[in-house]
Amino acid sequence: MNNIAVITGANGMDAKTLTHFLLKKGYKVILTYRRNTYFDVAKFSAIFTEDLKNNPQSELYFDVCDISCQNSVKECIKSVLKNHSRIDEFYHLAADSHVGESFKHKDGVMLINGQSHYYFLESLRMLSPRTRYYGAMTSELIGGHSGIYNEEHQWHPRSPYAIAKEAGARWIDFYKESTDINAFACYGILGNHSNYYRSKDFVIRKITNAAARIALGKQSELRLAQLEWARDEHWSDFGCEIMWKMLQLDKPQNFVIGNGQTHWGKEYVELAFNHFNLDWNRFVVFDTSLIRPNEVVKLEADSTKAQKILGWIPNRMPFKDHIDLMCEYDYQLEAGQTPTRKDVFSIY
């Protein structure tokens, strides 16, 4: 019998990545999306054609859900239960995920990134209490605290995005720790992560895509705020594998996921432009209008707990390979070719 998983935020990088992962395990996956978003189900399903072909026991479905509306959330859960009988695993990955933009619409981001976790957990409590729940958190929770962080580190969020995520994490802990509910609910504090599906409004994809376009003569410059930031970056596929492993434990636990190694902004740019034998200094333009009001400088994860319990492998993919794979994909994309999505689990 197929395990049945619901994943929110069909358009997002992690939702697509986790769907690939679960379909290869023979899951029935239900992806949710907002009705007011242009969403071509047939076109989107084509992304997973090979997974469904190679794993005939797997299935893929879609349902509508506005995560900022409690009634929509409840109706979505009802719909899935009616059509598929149960929900074994629930991955709430949908979010307003752009940190910089969150300063412009604080109320909305609080609903989407924070309160939505309450909506889902409460609906599952009433309608499907045995469902195992994963919530996507962020290293931005650490915020103003410098140094290496782990599961016990004090949070100091420095953006509306991170403040809302903290509210979501508090709701997850509340449902997990309340003895009258006793939900299997947990979250992962994942450091920066990316792959081919990362959108171009995130700096790593902005850099790799711009480098590819400049190499092809389709773009003349790359505008960035500054390079005085450092992040602990891992490949999203490996992070999604850990999300799944968290829901396979006997009891729910929260985990910090990261490589324990940071890379400064300059290294991101140098590696991307070096991939195309370009001197980044000739093309990067610094634009102070892009600077965030309350920037987080450096985030570095201590994933010792995840290594011991979940088998997390830090630096499984070298950072240079990470940038090279994204550059190759962007070059193929911008050159009008059909980009290839490599199976990183077979390579690393």
Looking at residue 146, its pLDDT comes to 66
Q: In which residue are the tokens 């891992």 written?
A: 234
CB 269, CB 203: distance < 8 Å: no
The three-state DSSP-derived secondary structure of the chain is CCCEEEECCCCCHHHHHHHHHHHCCCCEEEEEECCCCCCCHHHHHHHHHHHHHHCCCCEEEEEECCCCCHHHHHHHHHHHHHHHCCCCEEEECCCCCCHHHHCCCHHHHHHHHHHHHHHHHHHHHHHCCCCEEEEEEEHHHCCCCCCEECCCCCCCCCCHHHHHHHHHHHHHHHHHHCCCCCCCEEEEEECEEECCCCCCCCHHHHHHHHHHHHHCCCCCCEEECCCCCEECEEEHHHHHHHHHHHCCCCCCCCEEECCCCCEEHHHHHHHHHHHCCCCHHHCEEECHHHCCCCCCCECEECCHHHHHHHCCCCCCCCHHHHHHHHHHHHHHHHCCCCCCCCCHHHHC
Inside any domain, residue 103: yes
Inside any domain, residue 243: yes
What's the mean pLDDT when you consider all of the chain? 93
Looking at residue 105, its pLDDT comes to 75
| Global confidence as pTM | 0.95
Task: Determine whether 161 is an active site residue.
Answer: yes
Inside any domain, residue 219: no
Task: Determine whether 295 is an active site residue.
Answer: no
Inside any domain, residue 222: no
Spatial separation of the C-alpha atoms in residues 103 and 159, rounded to whole Å: 7
CATH number of domain containing 129? 3.40.50.720
* pLDDT tens-digit readout, 235-262: 999 999 999 999 999 999 999 999 999 9
Looking at residue 192, its pLDDT comes to 93
Looking at residue 37, its pLDDT comes to 63
Inside any domain, residue 57: yes
* pLDDT tens-digit readout, 87-143: 999 999 998 766 767 677 787 788 899 999 999 999 999 999 999 999 999 988 988
Spatial separation of the C-alpha atoms in residues 294 and 344, rounded to whole Å: 35
User: What b/e sequence results for 69-81 when a residue is b if at least 16 CB atoms lie within 10 Å of its CB, and e otherwise?
Assistant: ebebbbbbbeebe
Strand-pairing partners, residue 284, are: 222
CB 20, CB 51: distance < 8 Å: yes
Q: Please give the residue range of the domain that contains residue 38.
A: 4-197+234-261+299-312
- Annotated active-site residue in 140, 166, 241, 300: 140
CB 136, CB 95: distance < 8 Å: yes
Looking at residue 301, its pLDDT comes to 94
Pairing relationship of beta strands 263-264 and 230-231 according to DSSP bridges: antiparallel
Looking at residue 36, its pLDDT comes to 66
CB 191, CB 139: distance < 8 Å: yes
CB 105, CB 68: distance < 8 Å: no
257 burial class (0-12, 13-18, 19+ CB within 10 angstroms)?
A: buried
CB 334, CB 209: distance < 8 Å: yes
Task: Determine whether 140 is an active site residue.
Answer: yes
Looking at residue 102, its pLDDT comes to 65
- Annotated active-site residue in 32, 138, 208, 262: 138
Residues with pLDDT less than 70, the chain: 36-37, 97-98, 100, 102, 145-146, 294
Q: Look at the chain and report how many structural domains it folds into.
A: 1
Spatial separation of the C-alpha atoms in residues 246 and 311, rounded to whole Å: 11
- Annotated active-site residue in 161, 197, 268, 329: 161
Inside any domain, residue 284: no
Inside any domain, residue 275: no
Inside any domain, residue 224: no
Looking at residue 39, its pLDDT comes to 83
